[in-house]
Structure 1
Amino acid sequence: MSKQRSDKPEIKPFEGPAGGWGSMRSVAEILPRERVSPDAIRQLARQNKPKGFACVSCAWPKPADHHPAEFCEEGAKATAWELTSLRTTPEFFEQHTLTELRGWSDYELEQHGRLTHPLRYDAASDRYLACSWEEAFDAIGTALRPLDPKSVAFYSSGRTSLEASYMYGLMARMFGNQNLPDSSNMCHESTSVGLKSAIGVPVGTTRLDDFKKCDAIFFFGQNVGSNAPRMLHDLRSARKRGVEIITFNPLKERGLERFTDPQNPIEMLTGGETAISTQYHQVKAGGDIAAITGIAKFLIEWDDAALESGGAQILDHDFIEQHTHDFIAFAETVRARDWADIERETGLAKSALEDAARVYARSKAVMAIYGMGLTQHVKGVENVRMVVNLLLMRGNIGKPGAGPTPVRGHSNVQGQRTVGITEKTELAPVEKLKELYGFDPPTEKGLDTVETCRGVIDGSVKAVIGLGGNFLRAVPETGAMEAAWPKLDLSVQIATKLNRNHLFAGKVTYLLPCLGRIEQDVQASGPQAVSVEDSSSCIHGSRGNATPASPHLLSEPRIVAELAKRILPPNPRVDWDSWVADYSRIRDAIEATYPAFFKDFNKRLFTPGGFWKGNKASERIWQTPSGKAEFFAPTGLNATGFTDAEGRYRLMTLRSNDQFNTTVYGYHDRFRGVKGTRDVLFINRADMTETGLTEGQIVALESDAGDGIVRRRDGLIVTPYDIPRGCLGAYYPEANVLMPVEHHAEESHVPAAKSVPVRITA
């Protein structure tokens, strides 16, 4: 097994573009490493296409007019990762204890291959032992039924299909709780809270077609080259027709600088490339509120002057008057901000913000694209609302080519919230569930991710069921969480591969292997299809036809149904077996529960480009208490939640372009020039010099949360990098050990992983 890590890692600048031959080489390298079969390689031709399968990686929309190869470097890696011929069998666990495996890296654990059999943990030998499915389901039911429902958390990953998610959420509510933490809690809940309060919907308002109609794009805190590379085709097309792209991001991410289209023979042969950003502003981590305030300040000042002189207005006053509320309070707050404070918090010159403001002022249709660089801050919800403020100032919501465009992570993380994976009663169709299934759904708010972590640590959470994902590795407070996990009465993890969460066992622990989305799923009525929702609120069918990794695997819907039958009393209105026999019946149930979103669900399942579930804000119908879109007066300029101090840095946790979320595909972060290691500390050269550090020096980071708890990440290689002063970068999830569970976004509880207070120690 290739370990990928090197005793002599290489760290040197990468000069090439995103895409191009570097992307082709990366894909060509992973295919033989995963020992994929010719059939598995052929599956790439079906990826993200009608009648094919939805990529198991990101949630970027799937176009109706698709490319010949509708997958990116990251998507190809995800497919190879799932269709690997490598296997983790019961014999593997005969050779390795869980204690020993904790010394393996995240890469090594998953690289060993697909899980093949259901497993139970044996404390006496500290090993997983093979067991039957019936034994596993019966034992889980026996352990769960006596527990107080409030003490059980049902976690789900964003890869889970709409069908499995609907069943899972229904099972949890019938069990008696809404403890449904999920991937969204860790990433984009700030979007759900911020957009909902501002424009009445918890999701973005744009679709792929808007890229053809905008004349400017403002980009905030998103790394397209690593996290949603297929978007580069849309950005490239926009740039070719003259669209200006204004980027605010602490790091110079290559995908936002320049791109060579691997599907363009001329560019590949000639080395041609497209410049993506027309302006690139390296704002300090946590400085986006200040940056947008600066842009807004220019717009308001110019508009004030125009009104005085009788010139052309800068702001869309008709839109503001008809469609918005509380603009005056927002404008007064912005006028009162001091430019010196704005420059200090952004790390940008006033003239740079003026350049951005001039583009916005002359543009007729603006899209605002953003990612976790906005949402994962203490003031993450305020970040989102500032983006909305900017758009509202010139009526850039509810018209072609304009609107907020949050870039979701996992392929169905938005969709599972749509069908009931939520801890919030107001987002769940409680009355409809009662009508359809004849039970009283819980109305008490459930546990989100942060609250689940608190419960695991303090012992109030007694059991965690994980439908996919790597919860223990993805969450903050790694040390305390790993120490507390063995105290759980029950830990059940449904997965395709071994990960670090599986190495920490509760008193009763089962590891249940499931089919992957790309694999053929045959039930009583024949081969089945599932569905997902992309970032633009379009629903897509997905049909796998690859040979399953093992004959012992069950589908996620089947596993959920078997668990439900063990932990719930019989209900004549819920025929779990019938649903598993034919997934179209699950979709009928989803349609009955959410008729406004899923009308004719089964008929429209494989609509090219997906079918849109609708969005009232895109029609300028504002489902807010005031009936209008809400301006928000920011409470300050700093989104980090802490003040700067001598020796304190703002740490951003980063993903490599050789990983997706907690899954590490390898040790080559090509765009940042790092190969053979993930133990890197990115630092501004001036900060490095001022602190007396030398390039290549080994240091540690310590949490500077001020709560008296020692949190430390050792063994980091000092690496000078083009990063704003006072900011640091280190790889996620390894850096999660530095993040307190209480360092999270206000209102949304998203862990504030993009601005963690730390200090450097020798």
Structure 2
Amino acid sequence: MPDQKIEAYTDPAGGWGSARSLVEILTREEIPASGAAMLMKQNKPGGFMCVSCAWSKPAKPATFEYCENGAKATAWEQTRKRIGPDFFERHSVTELLTWADYDLEEKGRITHPLRYDPQRDRYLPVSWEQAFEEIGRELKAIREEDPKAAVFYSSGRASLETSYMYALFARMYGNNNLPDSSNMCHESTSKALPQSIGVPVGTTVLEDFEATDLILFFGQNVGSNSPRMLHPLQDARRRGVPIITFNPLRERGLERFTNPQSPIEMLTRSSTQISTQYHQVKAGGDIAAIAGICKALFAMDRQAQNEGRPRVLDIDFLSEHTHGFEKFEKFCDRLEWPALEAKSGLKREGMEAAAAVYARARAVIGIYGMGLTQHRRGTETVQMFVNLLLLRGNIGRPGAGICPVRGHSNVQGQRTVGIADEPSLVPLDKLKAMYGFEPPTEKGMNTIETCEGVIAGKVKAFIGLGGNFIRAVPDTQRMEEAWRGIRLTVQVSTKLNRSHLVHGEIAYILPCLGRIEIDEQASGPQAVSMEDSTSCFHGSRGVASPISDHVRSEPWIVAQFAKATLAPNPKVDWNAWVGDYAKVRDAIEATYPEKFKDFNARLFEPGGLHKPLAARERKWETQTGKANFVVPPDGLDMDPDMKSDRRDVLDLITLRSNDQFNTTIYGYHDRFRGVKGTRQILFMNENDIERLQLADGETVDVVTEAADEFAREVKGLRIVKYDIPEGNCAGYYPELNVLIPLWHHDAQAKVPAAKAIPVRIAKAAELAVRD
């Protein structure tokens, strides 16, 4: 662990800090020249899509169409460092289990397929043929006993082509057990939006940012999680567009931004103020804050009527396009301001100030992230946000709409082409007709249900298409203990992570090509595709040489799974698909013709191929045929199991540092929050520190306050005094996932409630005495 230092960071997001970080990561990964050249092709026509976040790629890219974290992701994947068979000769799995996440991935790219040897406690090289022979044999045996006992997980990085093949393989195997990383973040969106507006994704496109005159921003840290979005935000601010932010922590990217691509800004060190109002809502208080804005709008509308002025609400839109308005109005009328203030952590005046600006705006974009979705009532919070937008007709209008910011680069696209545990989301009849098999109709396991199945001993095989599942899920300690009971675990990966080390009885690591690498198949170099946060499909073409002769493409690996496991099917030519990915895209278009019209011909269309969304046209594919106001059935309490009378219980928010993307840790610095050299941090409000008789810089342990028999604690966190609402504290994901009970999730979407975990804080000495 490097030297630790906590020091306030006063510079804006972007600027020289980003420039220095870029130079540092390229140098550390030993690609200062080649990495810089690669970055010039990132998010460019004919180049490759960024492997980290899913923010949209513009039709006219900038010279440097990448951000600090996108550059880190590219450098991390294209590092010159390698993990070959000799690495595992030097290090046992037992030893590697003691390593930190950063240290595992930092060692470089995996070069050979590997099989775990329990006698030597090491991964040993194995041929691809031997690997698939055994994997196929095990999967066949499990299928004969119970086809629902195998799970096919995918992270958000796999292409549309790979995802389509993978989903088809799983269903031909006999189940819909297709959990994905969306289950851990934006599944609340996928549940909420179809009920409200008839589509499962956001309605905005990049061009809307040029036409909007107000942006509402909830629960998303743009500076660290999607920095390229700062460019349209800065452009909007320069046009005088207000940006009203609701977020517990004051995040630098939502305060000030210096564009690293602007020589004038860099030389003068000037910056743009991003947020015009910044409301530090309590963790889980968003639903109350939004309800307060709605209540204020109703009051303003009535006052306008009494004074003979134009209505504040869009009555024509409400009458023609919505259902449930009167019920929602009555709900808001019953709300009392003291309760709204207590639950949101905001003053009435702040909510009314936001409402006043909203009432004057013609076209409003509502942006949100996991600060809304990762709660016990995340689905209802998203629906409350939609309610607010509907009040003034801000769905299906240029410059307006709902904009969930997805994390991984193709997590939304995977769902579009069939990665779904809900069979109702997939055209099973079409798959049956095209491929001549009987698709399973029983609901499959999502991420939480997979975890429950592992603990119950029902999961016998787990195939991981990318990601770091065991590190990303909640209740980490319980999951790791149960995981070793799985018969077969297979991880398709580029780098070493903890999911390789906490393994099943039979375990394989299968190294794959990265998206940035040239994928040469029978018909020549291949292109792949993915979907961004704004529902646009983009082509991507690798530009770097493969890191080893022994790595294989993800479509090739999925095809080998299928060929080794399934009986031959004359209607599915896996070899032809691998030889030419355009044939996979033809199959995708045949399966989803309304979404992928002329897919191959338009693969590299500037700005992307827009997926049709009925809500953009104010066509509502809901049960009522209209956009629905959804009233929270249980009022505004975010967590019914939270013991609110316990003054020593705080709500813990898990968050990323500036030096990570999802479970990938690029380093031990969190520049914007002033943390260097450690991730063992607990951010706390100064008043809570005093009230609980603690001290800034003190080392403490954190224990989950849970209504079950399991003890969940993390030891050795350093308290850092920080600007965070009273009653809340914050620390880093995934290290604190151990504190999230498996049952602590959204009721509808089953997304882990990682943004409001009830915890108690104790001095290390006190816990030692207790133990």
Separation in 2 of the partners of 1:730 and 1:109? 21
Contact 2:26 2:35 in 1 (8 A): no
CA apart distance, 1:309? 3.4
Q: How does 1:93-172 map to 2 (within 5 A)?
A: 93-147=88-142, 148-172=146-170
CA apart distance, 1:576? 0.1
2:769 aligned partner: none
1:255 to 253, 256, 266: 253
Contact 1:178 1:424 in 2 (8 A): yes
Separation in 2 of the partners of 1:740 and 1:407? 25
**DSSP 3-state at the match of 2:595:** helix
CA apart distance, 1:39? 2.7
Separation in 2 of the partners of 1:40 and 1:251? 34
2:500 aligned partner: 502
Separation in 2 of the partners of 1:548 and 1:740? 41
CA apart distance, 1:37? 5.9
1:413 aligned partner: 411
**DSSP 3-state at the match of 2:10:** coil
Measured against aligned partners, the alpha-carbon deviations of 1:218-266 in whole angstroms (never above 9, x if no partner) come to 0000000000000000000000001000000000000000000000000
2:390 aligned partner: 392
Amino acid at match of 1:354: E
Contact 1:86 1:114 in 2 (8 A): yes
2:427 to 418, 426, 429: 429
Measured against aligned partners, the alpha-carbon deviations of 1:626-673 in whole angstroms (never above 9, x if no partner) come to 000000112322324443222111100010010000000001100000
**DSSP 3-state at the match of 1:238:** helix
Amino acid at match of 1:531: S
| Matched residue count | 757
2:9 to 9, 14, 31: 14
Q: How does 1:267-278 map to 2 (within 5 A)?
A: 267-278=265-276
Amino acid at match of 1:378: R
Contact 1:288 1:639 in 2 (8 A): no
1:348 aligned partner: 346
Amino acid at match of 2:397: K
Q: How does 1:365-514 map to 2 (within 5 A)?
A: 365-514=363-512
1:539 aligned partner: 537
1:749 aligned partner: 750
Measured against aligned partners, the alpha-carbon deviations of 1:518-546 in whole angstroms (never above 9, x if no partner) come to 00100011100000000000000000020
Amino acid at match of 1:484: A
2:637 aligned partner: 638
Separation in 1 of the partners of 2:447 and 2:354? 37
CA apart distance, 1:348? 0.8
Contact 1:212 1:238 in 2 (8 A): yes
Separation in 2 of the partners of 1:368 and 1:638? 23
**DSSP 3-state at the match of 2:455:** helix
**DSSP 3-state at the match of 1:716:** strand
The answer on 1:79 being equivalent to 2:74 is yes
Q: How does 1:210-289 map to 2 (within 5 A)?
A: 210-289=208-287
Contact 1:40 1:546 in 2 (8 A): no
1:734 aligned partner: 735
Separation in 1 of the partners of 2:34 and 2:559? 31
Separation in 2 of the partners of 1:639 and 1:209? 35
Q: How does 1:678-717 map to 2 (within 5 A)?
A: 678-717=679-718
1:58 aligned partner: 53
Separation in 2 of the partners of 1:306 and 1:686? 42
**DSSP 3-state at the match of 2:245:** strand
2:313 aligned partner: 315
1:516 aligned partner: 514
Separation in 1 of the partners of 2:666 and 2:242? 34
Contact 2:467 2:493 in 1 (8 A): yes
Separation in 1 of the partners of 2:261 and 2:307? 52
Measured against aligned partners, the alpha-carbon deviations of 1:480-507 in whole angstroms (never above 9, x if no partner) come to 1101111101000000000001001211
**DSSP 3-state at the match of 2:559:** helix
**DSSP 3-state at the match of 1:598:** coil
2:35 aligned partner: 40
Contact 2:219 2:246 in 1 (8 A): yes
1:189 aligned partner: 187
Separation in 1 of the partners of 2:451 and 2:368? 27
2:86 to 91, 113, 121: 91
Separation in 1 of the partners of 2:613 and 2:280? 33
Measured against aligned partners, the alpha-carbon deviations of 1:21-40 in whole angstroms (never above 9, x if no partner) come to 00000111111111126333
1:596 aligned partner: 594
Deviates more, 1:78-87 or 1:702-711: 702-711
Amino acid at match of 2:261: Q
CA apart distance, 1:598? 0.4
Contact 2:23 2:32 in 1 (8 A): no
Amino acid at match of 1:636: G
Amino acid at match of 1:667: Y
Q: How does 1:606-645 map to 2 (within 5 A)?
A: 606-634=604-632, 635-643=634-642, 644=644, 645=646
Amino acid at match of 2:198: G
Distance change (3 Å), C-alpha of 1:622 and 1:599: same
1:49 aligned partner: 44
Measured against aligned partners, the alpha-carbon deviations of 1:107-142 in whole angstroms (never above 9, x if no partner) come to 000000000000000011110000000000111011
CA RMSD of aligned residues (A): 0.8
**DSSP 3-state at the match of 2:651:** strand
1:677 aligned partner: 678
Unaligned runs of 5+ in 2: 764-771
Separation in 2 of the partners of 1:470 and 1:159? 12
Separation in 1 of the partners of 2:599 and 2:549? 31
Amino acid at match of 1:401: G
Q: How does 1:193-212 map to 2 (within 5 A)?
A: 193-212=191-210
1:562 to 540, 560, 563: 560
CA apart distance, 1:310? 2.6
Contact 1:199 1:628 in 2 (8 A): yes
Amino acid at match of 1:726: G
**DSSP 3-state at the match of 1:595:** coil
The answer on 1:759 being equivalent to 2:754 is no
TM-score normalised according to structure 1 size: 0.99
CA apart distance, 1:50? 1.1
Distance change (3 Å), C-alpha of 1:649 and 1:323: same
Separation in 1 of the partners of 2:498 and 2:626? 46
Distance change (3 Å), C-alpha of 1:670 and 1:641: farther
Amino acid at match of 1:533: E
2:581 aligned partner: 583
Measured against aligned partners, the alpha-carbon deviations of 1:255-290 in whole angstroms (never above 9, x if no partner) come to 000000000000000011000000000000000000
2:653 aligned partner: 652
**DSSP 3-state at the match of 2:327:** helix
Contact 2:648 2:760 in 1 (8 A): yes
Measured against aligned partners, the alpha-carbon deviations of 1:606-644 in whole angstroms (never above 9, x if no partner) come to 011111011100000000000000001123223244432
CA apart distance, 1:303? 1.1
Amino acid at match of 1:278: T
**DSSP 3-state at the match of 2:141:** coil
